[in-house]
Structure 1
Amino acid sequence: MTPLVHAAGCVLWRRVAAGDTGSGDIEVAVIHRPKHDDWSLPKGKLDPGEDHRHAAVREVLEETGMTCALGPELPKACYRAGDRPKEVRYWAAEATGGAFRPNGEVDELCWLSPPEARALLSYAVDRDLIDAALAAISPGGR
């Protein structure tokens, strides 16, 4: 039996001031991976001995250049990556600082409104995670 690949990632979000109302809108980070030519959420495999939470924060930093504060855990994604089963644990994570620079894995990062992010993402599981994150971090589930 092929061993399960363990990975972790985040729906990385930030609040953006909205005019004079004092309330804010949420933007979500979506990344482009040239190797796969897809638009995805930041995620990656666990290093040996690494726990999922640490891996999620590390992968966000490596792929987006952003530090983050983990929030609520979101539903897991289970799928096949090539010929191997893969399980990815996700968290909603608020961006706390940093700046994006293209790197070997990610050549573009876009901060988008949730509807724009859903439209750009390549995979249905990622679109569902946007909805789960919004429900977890905002009462109205924007």
Structure 2
Amino acid sequence: MTDDDTIQAAGCVLWRPSSVAGELEICLVHRPKYDDWSHPKGKLKRAEEPLAAALREVEEETGFRCVPGARLPSALYYVDGHRKEVSYWAAEATDGRFTPNREVDRIVWLPPDAARTRLTQLRDRDLVDALLSALHLA
């Protein structure tokens, strides 16, 4: 498989300040098709830049607009025998409201430790640590 065969996707570790001073909450999405909890992400459209795709996917999946921050580590894994690379950014939620849809039926806002525990994939848990490091909270 060549690099040209790699599925390109992008997403964000979406966060917002919590009501507890100095704390933050991370948004996780539940995808009923896979019955999993993850960070909002999705495939790039033709000729779409990764950051633009990440912001689009966040809004489509969570209903929230956001301000992108630091670039976080990419995730590389295989899906049905195809290589997939997901580019991630830290992103602070600004405004919006969640409406359940076919792709995402629930979201939750959790403190970092609870988010790390709720995430289905181990690779997604590492992104929580990367976010905290990027925000100088780790």
Query: Scaled by the length of structure 1, what TM-score is found?
Result: 0.93
Structure 2 residue runs without a partner (length 5+)? none
**What value does the CA root-mean-square deviation take over the aligned residues?**
1.0
Partner AA of 1:82 in structure 2: D
Q: Please state how far the C-alpha of 1:140 moved relative to its aligned partner.
A: 3.0
- Encode CA deviations 1:30-81: one digit per residue, 9 max, x unaligned: 1100001111110000000100000000000000000000000000100001
In the other structure, the counterpart of 2:67 is: 69
**Which 4+ residue blocks in structure 1 deviate beyond 6 angstroms?**
none
State percent identity of aligned pairs: 53
Equivalent residue runs for 1:1-142 within 5 Å: 1=1, 3-18=5-20, 23-137=21-135, 139-141=136-138
Partner AA of 1:16 in structure 2: S
Q: C-alpha distance in 1, partners of 2:84/2:113?
A: 27
Query: Scaled by the length of structure 2, what TM-score is found?
Result: 0.95
What SS does the aligned partner of 1:17 have? coil
Structure 1 residue runs without a partner (length 5+)? none
What SS does the aligned partner of 1:94 have? strand
Partner AA of 1:6 in structure 2: Q
Q: Please state how far the C-alpha of 1:83 moved relative to its aligned partner.
A: 1.6
Partner AA of 1:15 in structure 2: P
